[in-house]
Amino acid sequence: MDWELPDELKLLQETVRAFVERELIPIEMSVPDREELPAEILAPLQEKAKALGLWMIDVPEELGGAGLGLLARAVIGEEVARTVALPFRGNPLFGPHLSPILLACNEDQRERYVYPLLRGELRACFAQTEADAGTDPSAMRTRARRDGDEWVIVGTKRFITLAHRSDFATVLAVTDPEAQRGRTISCFLVDLASPGVRLLRPQPTMMGDAPWEIAFDEVRVPAANLVGEQGGGFALGQRFLTVGRVLGHGAHPLGVAQRALELAIDYAKTRVTFGQPLSERQAIQFMIADSAIEIHAARLMVHRCACRYDQGLDTRDESYMVKIACSEMVNRVVDRAIQIHGSIGLTTELPLERWFRQMRSIRITEGATEVMRWRLARNLIRARP
C-alpha cells in the first residue's frame, strides 16, 4: 500500500504552495476580515491562478473546467488554507465552482443556470438550514406543493452564505411529508428575484462573515426547476455536505493547523526567556509534538476519504470521522500556537486570532460534531451482525 501522493499531485501541491507563499501570505494581514475580497485584490490573483491552470478546479473537463477529483481538491484546499488572505467561506480564487447538486442538473437546467454561472453571469447559494432544521434536515419546515406546471414554496431558511450576492439558490424543501424516510425532500433551482423571495436580515458572526435569512412566501417555481427526481433532494444535499466535510472541515483545518504549527515553531526558536529559547522548554516541545502528531493523523484520514470518494465508494461514515477529527484537532493546534506566542498571539498582527474565531465554527456548521458522533455510532452498531 502506497501512502505517498502520486507525482502529479505532489507537483500540484508544490505549485499551489509556492503561489500561496508568493502571492497570498505577504498580503494576508492587510486584507479585510470579511466574506468577500475587494475586486482590486481578487481580480489580479485570479488571473495569476488561471495562468497556472488553477481555474474551475471542480468543474468537469467537458464543461471547460480542470475536472479535478476530491483528493486533488483536498491537496489544493490544504495549501490555500495556510493563509487568511482569502475569505473563510466560498473561496473565489479559482473562479466559479459547481456543487454536486448543480452537477446533477439536466441539460435544460445547465443552459439556464450552470453555463451562465460558469461564464460569471450568475452566482448561486445553497439553502438548506432552518431555525429548527440545521444538523437535522428531517425537521425541515419549508414546504413545496405542486400546482399545475409549478411548485409553490413556503418557508424560511437561515445562515445562507452570500445569499445577498446570489442570483439563484438551490433550495431544499419538503414535497411529500408522508413519504418514506429520506424521500420527503426535493431540490429546486429558485431565482432569488422571484416574487415572494425576501432577504430578511444578515446575521454577522464572529468569523467575519454574515450569512442571511431568506423567506419564501408562496414563491412559484417552474416544475422544470426540480433538480433530479422528486424526493431526491435529501440525497443531493448529503452529497453536497459530504464533499464539504472533506474539504471545508477536513482539508481546510489541515492547512490552518499546519501553518499555525509552523508559526509556533518559528516563534519558539527565536523567543528567549530566562536565557533560553522557548524551543528548549519541554512544555513547548510537547505542544509542538502533539500538534504534529494530530496533523499527521488527520491528513491521512482526509486523503484516504477523498481517495475512496474518487473511486465511487460510500464515504459517508468516513466523512463524519474527518469532520470530527479535523475540526477538533485544528482548535487544539491553534490554541497551542497562541499559547506558545503568549500575548503577541492575541493580537491582530498575526493570523492566529482570526483562525481561533473561524475554526471554532466548523465544529458546528454542516453537522455538529456531537451529531456526527451519534450518526457514526448508530451506523457502526447497525452494521455489526
Contact at 8 Å (CB) between 216 and 197?
yes
What is the Cα 179 distance to its own chain's centre? 30
Asked whether 327 and 301 are in contact (CB, 8 A), the reply is no
Per-residue model confidence (pLDDT) at position 87:
87
Query: Residue 123: which of 91, 89, 97 has the closest Cα?
Result: 97
- The radius of gyration of the chain's CA atoms, rounded to the nearest angstrom, is 22
- 118, pLDDT greater than 70: yes
Q: What is the pLDDT of residue 184?
A: 92
Nearest to 82 by CA among 11, 150, 9, 22: 22
Query: Count of H helices and E strands in the chain?
Result: 12, 10
Q: Which of 213, 262, 366, 370 is catalytic?
A: 366
pLDDT in tens, 37-76: 888 999 999 999 999 999 999 999 999 999 999 999 999 9
Phi, psi (deg, nearest 5) at residue 130: -130, 170
366 counts as catalytic: yes
pLDDT above 80 (res 137): no
Q: Which three cell numbers stand for residue 178?
A: 408522508
Query: In which residue are the cell numbers 443556470 written?
Result: 113
Domains and CATH numbers, the chain: 7-102 (1.10.540.10), 122-227 (2.40.110.10), 235-383 (1.20.140.10)
The pLDDT, as a whole number, for residue 64 is: 92
**Structure confidence at residue 33 as a pLDDT band (50, 70, 90):** confident
Total residues found in the chain within this entry:
385
Statement: residue 10 has pLDDT above 80: yes
Instruction: State the average pLDDT over residues 307-318.
Output: 95
User: 372: how many CB neighbours lie within 10 A of its CB?
Assistant: 24
